């Protein structure tokens, strides 16, 4: 599930994921939420989710679950719960994008713009869909198109952009200081093929050493 073979890195990932999950739960639960009907605003509520996305899919999924649960515990509005649950769709896009292009794309302005804009559009479209689903189930609120598309769409995109950029800044600062070993590319687990290659190389080196020892004994 973790996609990691090395036990040390697996432990690091689980630890980092647990830290982000705990911080996300506490932050979302205790941070006041501004309720504007079809749209609510919790400052930097996506921050830990984005940081987790930049680290690994497992961390992102755990933080996503924590975010959704925190909103369910702190805000008694199922419309907010639906909107929080809809985050999985822009997360999938970012996870696939980072899987294809790697974390080096976080150093490229064109890549950053693509990730920000596309994930932002996906984010607000599915949150708007969540609002309409809520209205379909009888939620009473301002269902005027300007309110839904303006508040959830434009304001939501602005919220997404702010959280994304702050998370990217923090992630780069953490990585630069090497505060979390797993974030350093050098500590990312190697593949099975690479492992097999290393084992074969070590075996060959050991055989050469044994051969040299045997030749030395014969010469004596």
CATH 1.10.1760.20 for domain 7-189: yes
Per-residue pLDDT in tens (0 to 9) along the chain, 220 residues: 454 556 777 888 899 999 999 999 999 888 887 766 666 778 898 999 999 999 999 999 999 999 999 988 887 777 888 889 999 999 999 999 999 999 899 999 999 999 999 999 999 999 989 888 877 766 666 666 777 788 788 888 999 999 999 999 999 998 876 666 555 444 344 333 433 444 454 455 455 555 554 554 454 5
The pLDDT score that the predictor gives to residue 211 is 57
Ordered by start, the domain boundaries in the chain are 7-189, 194-220
**Would you say 130 and 39 are in contact if contact means Cβ atoms under 8 Å apart?**
no
Distance separating alpha carbons of residues 122 and 206, to the nearest angstrom: 54
Distance separating alpha carbons of residues 57 and 26, to the nearest angstrom: 21
Determine the Cα angle at 182 with ends 176 and 183, to 5°. Answer: 35
Distance separating alpha carbons of residues 201 and 7, to the nearest angstrom: 22
The pLDDT score that the predictor gives to residue 137 is 67
**Would you say 87 and 123 are in contact if contact means Cβ atoms under 8 Å apart?**
yes
Tokens of 173: 């600062």
Residue with the two structure tokens 């899919």: 57
The pLDDT score that the predictor gives to residue 191 is 36
């Amino acid at each position: 599930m973790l996609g990691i073979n090395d036990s040390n890195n697996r432990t690091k990932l689980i630890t980092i994921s647990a830290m982000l999950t705990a911080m996300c739960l506490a932050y979302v639960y205790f941070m006041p939420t501004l309720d504007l009907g079809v749209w609510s605003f919790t400052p930097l509520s996506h921050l830990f989710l984005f940081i987790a996305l930049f680290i690994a899919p497992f961390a992102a999924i755990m933080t996503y679950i924590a975010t959704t649960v925190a909103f369910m515990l702190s805000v008694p509005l199922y419309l907010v719960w639906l909107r929080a649950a809809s985050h999985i769709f822009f997360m999938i896009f970012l996870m696939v994008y980072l899987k294809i292009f790697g974390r080096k794309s976080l150093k490229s302005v064109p890549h950053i713009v693509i990730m920000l804009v596309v994930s932002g559009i996906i984010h607000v479209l599915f949150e708007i869909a969540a609002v309409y689903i809520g209205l379909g189930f009888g939620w009473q609120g301002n269902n005027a198109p300007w309110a839904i598309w303006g508040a959830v769409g434009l304001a939501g995109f602005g919220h997404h952009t702010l959280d994304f950029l702050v998370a990217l800044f923090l992630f780069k600062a953490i990585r630069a200081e090497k505060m979390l070993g797993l974030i350093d590319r050098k500590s990312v687990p190697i593949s099975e093929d690479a492992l097999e290659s290393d084992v074969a190389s070590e075996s060959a080196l050991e055989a050469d050493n044994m051969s040299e020892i045997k030749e030395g004994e014969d010469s004596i």
